[in-house]
Structure 1
Amino acid sequence: MSFGSLRRTLFGDPLNTLLSLGVLALLAWSLPALLRWAVLEAQFAADVGACEALDHRGACWGVVAEKARFILLGRYPAEQAWCPVLAALLIIGGWLGAASGRLPGAAVASCLLLPPLLAFPLLGGGFAGLETVPTELWGGLPLTLLLTGAGLAGALPLGIAIAYGRRSSLHLLRALLTAGVELARGIPLVAALFMASFLLPLFFPEGGGLDMLWRVLIAIVLFAAAYLSEIVRGGLQAFPAGQRDAAAALGFSPWQTERWIVLPQVLRQVAPSLANSAIALFKDTSLVTVVSLYELTGSLGLALAGDAQWRPFYLEAWLFIAAIYWIGCSLIARLAQLATRGAAPRPQADPPGN
Structure 2
Amino acid sequence: MAKDALYVRDEFVEARPAPGQTGGPLLWLRQNLFATPVDTMFTLGGLLFLLWAIPPIFNFLLGDAVFPGGTVEDCRVEGAGACWAYIHARFNFFIYGFYPIDQYWRPNIVFVLGAALIIPLLIPSAPFKRINAVLFFVVFPVISFYLLSGGVFGLRYVPTEQWGGLLVTLIISLVGIFCSIPIGILLALGRQSQLPIIKTLCVMFIELWRAVPLITVLFMASIMLPLFMPTGTTVDKLLRALVGVTLFSSAYLAETVRGGLQALPRGQYEAAAALGLGYWKRTWFIILPQALRHVIPGIVNNFIALFKDTSLVSIVGIFDLLNTVQAASSDIDWASPTQAVTGYVFAAAMFWIFCFAMSRYSLWMERRLDTGHKR
**TM-score, length of structure 2 as denominator length:** 0.83
Instruction: Choose the corresponding residue for 1:171, options 164, 179, 196.
Output: 196
In the alignment, does 2:83 pair up with 1:83? no
In the alignment, does 2:265 pair up with 1:240? yes
Check 1:304–1:97 CA distance in 2 against 1; reply closer, same or farther (3 A cut).
farther
Deviations along 1:206-234, whole A, 9 cap, x unmatched?
A: 23332111111111111001100011111
Residue in 2 aligned with 1:23? 46
In the alignment, does 2:76 pair up with 1:49? no
**TM-score, length of structure 1 as denominator length:** 0.88
Deviations along 1:78-109, whole A, 9 cap, x unmatched?
A: 11012223323444555544555544775886
- The alpha carbon displacement at 1:62 in A equals 0.9
Deviations along 1:175-203, whole A, 9 cap, x unmatched?
A: 22212211111111010011111222234
Q: Which amino acid aligns with 1:240?
A: P
Answer with 336-345 or 237-246: which moved more. 336-345
In the alignment, does 2:348 pair up with 1:322? yes
Residue in 2 aligned with 1:218? 243
Indicate conservation of the 8 Å contact 1:286/1:295, yes or no: yes
Q: Which amino acid aligns with 2:214?
A: L
Answer with 305-314 or 204-213: which moved more. 305-314
Residue in 1 aligned with 2:290? 265
Indicate conservation of the 8 Å contact 2:160/2:238, yes or no: yes
- The alpha carbon displacement at 1:326 in A equals 0.4
Contiguous gaps of at least 5 residues in structure 2: 1-22
- Structure 1: distance between partners of 2:66 and 2:153: 42
Residue in 2 aligned with 1:332? 358
Residue in 2 aligned with 1:344? 371
Answer with 190-199 or 207-216: which moved more. 207-216
Indicate conservation of the 8 Å contact 2:184/2:253, yes or no: yes
- Structure 2: distance between partners of 1:98 and 1:26: 43
Instruction: Choose the corresponding residue for 2:171, options 146, 155, 169.
Output: 146
- Structure 1: distance between partners of 2:216 and 2:374: 48
Contiguous gaps of at least 5 residues in structure 1: 349-354
- Structure 2: distance between partners of 1:278 and 1:111: 22
- Structure 1: distance between partners of 2:116 and 2:359: 16
Deviations along 1:286-312, whole A, 9 cap, x unmatched?
A: 111111110001111222224363353
Aligned partner of residue 305 in structure 1, secondary structure: coil
- Structure 2: distance between partners of 1:334 and 1:57: 35
- Structure 1: distance between partners of 2:355 and 2:178: 17
- Structure 2: distance between partners of 1:146 and 1:46: 33
- Structure 2: distance between partners of 1:279 and 1:112: 21
Q: Kindly report which structure 2 residues correspond to 1:1-354, keeping only aligned pairs within 5 A, or say none.
A: 7=29, 8-11=31-34, 13-44=36-67, 45-53=69-77, 55-92=78-115, 96-100=119-123, 102-103=125-126, 113=137, 115-116=140-141, 118-307=143-332, 309-310=334-335, 312=337, 313-341=339-367, 342-344=369-371
Answer with 338-347 or 188-197: which moved more. 338-347
Indicate conservation of the 8 Å contact 1:166/1:178, yes or no: yes
Q: Which amino acid aligns with 1:77?
A: P
Indicate conservation of the 8 Å contact 1:98/1:108, yes or no: yes
Q: Which amino acid aligns with 2:50?
A: L
